[in-house]
Structure 1
Amino acid sequence: MKEVPFDPQNDDIMERLRNVPAFNALPDGHIRKAMKAASIRRYDAGEVIINQGEFDNQVFFLIFGHLDIMVQGNKVGELKRLGDIFGEMGILDGSPRSATITAARTSLVVSLNDTALGSLGDGSKLFTQAVMYRVFAEVMAVRLRDANQTIVNLQDELRELKK
Structure 2
Amino acid sequence: MSEPTLLNNEIRDWLMDCGLFDQLLPADFAAASGYFSISTIAQGEAIFHEGDAGSFMCIIHTGQVSVQKTNSDGQTVIMATLRSGRAFGEMAVLDGERRSASCVAASNCQLLNLGKDSLEKMLNDAPKIAAKIIRALAVSLSKRLRMADGQLLSQQV
Question: Which whole-Å CA distance do the structure 2 matches of 1:75 and 1:120 have between them?
Answer: 33
Q: Which has the larger radius of gyration?
A: 1
Is the CA contact (8 Å cut-off) linking 2:12 and 2:33 kept in structure 1? no
Residues 63, 107 of structure 1: 8 Å contact kept: yes
Residue pairs, 1:51-130, within 5 angstroms: 51-72=49-70, 73-81=76-84, 83-120=85-122, 125-130=126-131
Partner of 1:47: 45
CA contact (8 A) 1:44 1:105 kept: yes
Task: Quote the residue 1:36 is aligned against.
Answer: 34
Q: Please tell me whether the aligned partners of residues 34 and 117 of structure 1 are also in contact (alpha carbons under 8 angstroms).
A: no
CA RMSD in angstroms comes to 2.2
C-alpha deviations, 1:47-87, integer Å up to 9, x for none?
01111110032011111101111111111111112x21011
Aligned with 1:20 (options 9, 13, 18): 18
Task: Determine helix, strand or coil for the equivalent of 1:115.
Answer: helix
Where 2:106 maps in the other structure, the secondary structure is strand
Q: Is the 8 A contact 2:123 2:130 kept in 1?
A: no
Alpha-carbon separation, structure 2, partners of 1:64 and 1:19: 11
**Helix, strand or coil at the partner of 2:67:** strand
1:57–1:121 distance in 2 versus 1, CA, 3 Å: closer
| Change in CA separation of 1:155 and 1:121 when aligned onto 2, cut-off 3 Å | closer
3-state secondary structure, aligned to 1:21? coil
Q: Displacement of 1:12 after TM fit?
A: 4.5
**Maintained 8 Å contact 1:8/1:32:** no
Gaps of 5+ in 2: 71-75
Q: What is the DSSP-based 3-state SS (H/G/I as helix, E as strand, rest coil) of the residue aligned with 2:63?
A: strand
- State the TM-score, normalized to the length of structure 2: 0.81
Q: Secondary structure at the match of 2:64?
A: strand
% identity of equivalent residues: 24
Matching residue's letter, 1:62: I
Gaps of 5+ in 1: 1-6, 157-163
Cα distance in 2, alignment partners of residues 135 and 32 from structure 1: 17
Q: How many residue pairs end up in the alignment? A: 148
